[in-house]
Amino acid sequence: GGGGIDIEATDGKGRTAFELALGAGHTNVLKILNELRARASIKIYATTWNCNAAKNPDHLMISALLSGGLEAGDHIEQYGMYIIALQETVELNVSSVLKNKDISLAWEQPILHKLNESRAEKLPKFQLVVKKHLVGMLLLIFALEPIRVLISNIQLFKIGVGAGKTIGVGGNKGAVAARFRFWGRNIMVLNCHLPAHQKALKDRNSALAQIWKKLNVMSPDSKDQVVLCLGDFNYRLTYNIKEFKQVEGLIHNHQIGSLLENEQLLQERKQGKVLQGFQEGKISFLPTFKLEIGSSKYNNKRVPAYCDRILWSNDTKVSLVQQHWYRCLERIVSSDHKPVSSKFEIDLYPSESKHLETSSKSGSLTSPIDHSYSEIKLDSTSTP
């Protein structure tokens, strides 16, 4: 519904159109996909959060993280895919960098439970599609079963920068990422955590350049058609700490435009230094860092900043990306960062694109379904 694939539509026996088609063979799959071609899109919920080493995420925390900022009782939107990018899932110290312990289950299980708990028995359920971690960074992607069927050729990446990379164990900063094909489209998702502190501007730019180079992001070789890049980018406002009261006043008066005039990432993008070809929605929320834990009061030891961001890039000849909203999740107060979330809708078949085709000999889909995985580990000494 809503102009996208109606994955909830059933035949009266709880079987979705995709399930019926897949059960009947490729010919019917192709028929249904062609019928849906003109309105084929997928709605995606994306969120990024530096959780400040939150332990044992509970039901309320997960509910708030997946809520899109809506209050209990509000209409909950339906999505085909959820992208969860977390940073600092563990404390960033020498021990955690060396151990690189995988704590993903602590997040994966309650998120999956929350996504599926209210779904009727016969409706398709969410499944884990992507899981990748590096020290405190964790990327999780969940999709409904009929959507999962159309995801293939998954590649996973990790790139460490900062502390630890010189000893070959990754880094306390960097990126975890995934590439996959969805309905014949090449999609990439990156979860980035860049060097901290206001004066580390060049280090942040350098880290992005390293990630982009090693992963060939948006390069002709990569053939990326849709890229979502989200995380704790750690870019700051250019005020100094002595101007904290001035910044606090701008926040109190909701003068977001004045704050953004002094925002590093916007300045660097405007000068063409980073994230060229990427877009970001209008920022209408207050700074997401640094909050007093347990409240929405800003910590006066740091100038408030828009550390947490979501950007995207796409080949408009192949796939159109529409951002419906971009907001901060104010209800979560268990970290010194606020999560940021967004609703995207990816139109997989713009008007100028061609119909799905079949092979004249086999009658099979031109992009056969192949649930294959490969993992690529990139450290300070390796190349793609």
The string of pLDDT tens digits covering residues 328-372 is 999 999 999 999 999 999 987 654 444 333 333 333 333 333 344
- What's residue 248's pLDDT? 97
Is the pLDDT reported for residue 102 higher than 80?
yes
Q: How many other CB atoms are there within 10 angstroms of residue 334's CB atom?
A: 18
Whether a cis peptide bond, with omega within 30° of 0, leads into 202 is no
- What's residue 220's pLDDT? 84
The pTM assigned to this predicted structure is 0.83
Judging by DSSP bridges, how do beta strands 81-87 and 41-50 pair with one another? parallel
Structure tokens at 298: 């800003």
Is the pLDDT reported for residue 105 higher than 80?
yes
- What's residue 371's pLDDT? 40
Q: What is the mean pLDDT of residues 102-107?
A: 90
Percent of the chain with pLDDT over 90: 61
**What is the rounded CA–CA span in Å between residue 106 and residue 20?**
35
- What's residue 308's pLDDT? 98
Q: 9: burial class by Cβ within 10 Å (0-12, 13-18, 19+)?
A: exposed
Q: How many other CB atoms are there within 10 angstroms of residue 276's CB atom?
A: 10
Q: Residue 1 — very low, low, confident or very high, per pLDDT cuts 50/70/90?
A: very low
The string of pLDDT tens digits covering residues 49-72 is 999 998 789 999 999 999 998 865
- What's residue 273's pLDDT? 97
Q: Which of 291, 290, 288, 332 is nearest to 310 (CA)?
A: 288
**What is the rounded CA–CA span in Å between residue 182 and residue 337?**
32
Length of the chain: 384
Q: What is the mean pLDDT of residues 26-37?
A: 49
The string of pLDDT tens digits covering residues 152-210 is 999 999 999 865 454 334 567 999 999 999 988 899 999 999 999 999 999 999 999 99
> Residue 73: enclosing H or E segment and its boundaries?
none
Q: Which of 87, 11, 89, 12 is nearest to 57 (CA)?
A: 89
Query: What is the three-class DSSP state of 85?
Result: strand
Amino acid (one-letter) located at 17 = A
The string of pLDDT tens digits covering residues 133-142 is 999 999 999 9
Q: Are 350 and 319 in contact (CB under 8 A)?
A: yes
- What's residue 91's pLDDT? 82
- What's residue 199's pLDDT? 95
Query: What is the three-class DSSP state of 345?
Result: strand
Query: What is the three-class DSSP state of 29?
Result: helix
Going along the chain from its start, the domains and CATH numbers come out as 40-351 (3.60.10.10)
**What is the rounded CA–CA span in Å between residue 89 and residue 314?**
29
CB within 8 Å of 307: residues ≥ 6 apart:
50, 232, 233, 234, 235, 236, 288, 289, 337
- What's residue 323's pLDDT? 96
Q: Residue 30 — very low, low, confident or very high, per pLDDT cuts 50/70/90?
A: low
Calculate the average pLDDT of the chain: 82
The string of pLDDT tens digits covering residues 236-282 is 999 999 999 999 999 999 999 999 999 999 999 999 999 999 999 99
Q: Are 38 and 19 in contact (CB under 8 A)?
A: no
Whether a cis peptide bond, with omega within 30° of 0, leads into 282 is no
Q: How many other CB atoms are there within 10 angstroms of residue 127's CB atom?
A: 17
